[in-house]
């Protein structure tokens, strides 16, 4: 969970469903549910029977403006490389989320194979490190554009 940079909304990631819940903090003592948001992208390997979602939103961070959230999802199935994803979410003025076109970016197998489970995200700006968490992400900085 994290609170938006402006302090108006709470964002909670549910790694079991690959969804986000958004709550208004207009009254911080009584949060109000605003949205349940499902991340885009393949959730399971095509044609594979599964009892749930094979991707997990594992780490997320706001950009310095508070207008976007970047989300790293990883796969729980070593044979489903497409489950390793980077999502770009737009944060509306009302706190609601939408996923940008072209998102998610499926992390290239050459850099992040299915057996790798990315577990971190760091936001780096021209001015330096902003926010996020270190982890086991492998690859170069051009993956996110």
| Spatial separation of the C-alpha atoms in residues 86 and 75, rounded to whole Å | 12
Mean pLDDT of 16-40: 94
Provide DSSP, 40-67: -S--S-TT---SS-SEEEEEEEE-TTSS
pTM for the full predicted model: 0.78
Q: What percent of the chain has pLDDT over 90?
A: 32
All structural domains of the chain with their residue ranges: 2-40+53-138
Per-residue tokens: 103: 């998102």
Cis preceding linkage at 104, omega within 30: yes
Mean pLDDT of 99-122: 82
CATH level 3 topology of 2-40+53-138:
Methylamine Dehydrogenase; Chain H (2.130.10)
Strand partners, 62: 69
| Spatial separation of the C-alpha atoms in residues 2 and 21, rounded to whole Å | 11
| pLDDT recorded at residue 133 | 39
Q: What percent of the chain has pLDDT over 70?
A: 77
């Amino acid at each position: 969970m994290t609170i938006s940079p402006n302090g108006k909304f709470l964002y909670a990631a549910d790694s079991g469903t690959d969804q986000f819940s958004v709550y208004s903090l207009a009254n911080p003592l009584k949060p109000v549910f605003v949205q349940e948001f499902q991340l885009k992208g393949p959730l399971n390997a095509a044609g594979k029977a599964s009892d749930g979602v094979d991707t997990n939103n594992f780490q997320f961070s706001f950009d310095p403006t508070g207008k976007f959230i970047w989300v790293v999802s990883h796969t729980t199935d070593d044979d489903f490389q497409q489950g390793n994803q980077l999502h770009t979410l737009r944060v509306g003025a009302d706190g609601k989320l939408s996923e940008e076109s072209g998102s998610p970016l499926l992390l290239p197998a050459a850099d992040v194979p299915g057996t790798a489970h990315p577990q971190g995200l760091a936001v780096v700006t021209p001015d330096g490190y902003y926010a996020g968490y270190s982890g086991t992400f492998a690859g170069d900085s051009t993956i996110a554009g």
